[in-house]
């Protein structure tokens, strides 16, 4: 066996038990080669990493919507990067890893909660959209394809199309969250909060263990019972986040050095907080912009190009 293959295999075996056990590594479908070949090459369910048997069955039965599932994760990641662009952890993905967010998601933190919610929301959205566009034969408004797609699936038909995306996301994304542990409970809750897309805050929880007939079961309880308990709208988490100030391969923090900060903001995107008190550097940048635009009757606009100078502040 070639050495790098052996390394990869060992990495998978070790990673599989140590790091990747709780990780939805099928998200890697949204990055890299597999994603770019979607549409041009047939998708092989067996080559998607980390599917549990239920997901594999789903993939084989509904192969047609798998590109939308991948697209949904991709949209979720883009949205996460947009929403977190001014934060210390900004939803960075790692292209050459199956664990596309690195070790950051190993812990049951707010960041993990958010990523699960937004990935599930993305899947529901992308599947619903592809149904509405009529690109898929098992859903959509085309009268030829109305009605249930097959045995055991009461989906399809126009009125239920938004539900269809939600159902796909639920069936597929939650399929691996059936362990009786706190992390599974957390992921399921946050996946669902994302799918209905109405989360507005995140609540810290504590893990409680109960003995039930099926064995020990972990559940979550609000840590601060003085506040109202979280509803299905709230994301939940039960471990503290690292501060993401310095690079740390163990936590998956990249640190904030060289990040662009906002010198006038007092928020988390401001230079004080984003740079963790280390201070910032300032440089000027010239950018070409359109200017002196003239509207010509009728109908076009002509512009000149001007050079504007901006101050750019980056963390030390």
Ligand X SMILES: *[C@@H]1O[C@H](CO)[C@@H](O)[C@H](O)[C@H]1NC(C)=O
Nearer to ligand X, 193 or 261 (CB): 261
Q: Measuring CA to CA, how many Å separate 277 from each of 3, 59, 257, 271?
A: 44, 48, 11, 8
DSSP 188-243: HHHHHHHHHT----EEEEEEEEEEETTEEEEEEEES-TTSPPP-TTSEEE-SPPP-
d(CA 20, CA 56): 18
Q: Shortest gap between Cβ of 92 and ligand X (angstroms)?
A: 5
Residue whose entry in the numeric block shows the structure tokens 């295999």: 9
Taking residues 9 to 28 in sequence order and writing x for each that binds ligand X by CB under 6 A, - otherwise, the string is: --------------------
Taking residues 259 to 278 in sequence order and writing x for each that binds ligand X by CB under 6 A, - otherwise, the string is: x--x-xx-------------
Number of residues near ligand X (by CB under 6 A): 8
- 313 scored as a contact of ligand X (CB under 6 A): no
d(CA 280, CA 286): 19
Nearer to ligand X, 85 or 228 (CB): 85
Near ligand X by CB under 6 A: residue from 9, 21, 85, 147: 85
Burial of 55 (0-12, 13-18, 19+ CB in 10 A): buried
Nearer to ligand X, 30 or 220 (CB): 30
Taking residues 215 to 254 in sequence order and writing x for each that binds ligand X by CB under 6 A, - otherwise, the string is: ---------------------------------------x
Binding region for ligand X (CB under 6 A):
85, 90, 92, 254, 259, 262, 264-265
């Amino acid at each position: 066996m070639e050495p790098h293959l052996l390394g990869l295999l060992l990495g998978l075996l070790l990673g599989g038990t140590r790091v990747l056990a709780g990780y939805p590594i099928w998200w890697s479908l949204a990055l890299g080669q597999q994603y770019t070949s979607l549409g041009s090459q047939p998708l092989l369910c067996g080559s998607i990493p980390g599917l549990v048997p239920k997901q594999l069955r789903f993939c084989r039965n509904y192969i047609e919507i798998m590109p939308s599932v991948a697209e949904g994760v991709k949209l979720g990641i883009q949205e996460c990067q947009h929403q977190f662009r001014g934060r210390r952890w900004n939803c960075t993905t790692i292209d050459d890893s199956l664990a596309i967010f690195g070790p950051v998601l190993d812990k049951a933190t707010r960041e993990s909660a958010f990523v699960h919610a937004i990935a599930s929301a993305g899947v529901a959205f992308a599947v619903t959209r592809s149904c509405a566009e009529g690109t898929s034969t098992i859903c959509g408004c085309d009268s030829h394809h109305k009605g249930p797609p097959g045995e055991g699936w009461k989906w399809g038909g126009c009125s239920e199309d938004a539900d269809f995306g939600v159902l796909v996301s639920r069936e597929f994304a939650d399929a691996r969250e059936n362990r009786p542990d706190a992390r599974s409970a957390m992921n399921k809750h946050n996946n669902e909060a994302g799918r209905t897309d109405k989360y507005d805050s995140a609540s810290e929880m504590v893990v409680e263990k109960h003995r039930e007939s099926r064995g020990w079961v972990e559940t979550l309880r609000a840590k601060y019972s003085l506040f109202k308990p979280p509803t299905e709208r709230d994301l939940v988490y039960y471990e503290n986040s690292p501060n993401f100030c310095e690079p740390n391969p163990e936590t998956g923090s990249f640190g904030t050095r060289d990040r662009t900060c906002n010198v006038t903001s007092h928020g988390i995107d401001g230079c004080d907080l984003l740079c963790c008190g280390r201070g910032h550097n300032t440089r000027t940048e010239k950018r070409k912009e359109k200017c002196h635009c003239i509207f010509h009757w009728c109908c076009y606009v002509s512009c000149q190009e001007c050079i504007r100078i901006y101050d750019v502040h980056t963390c030390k």
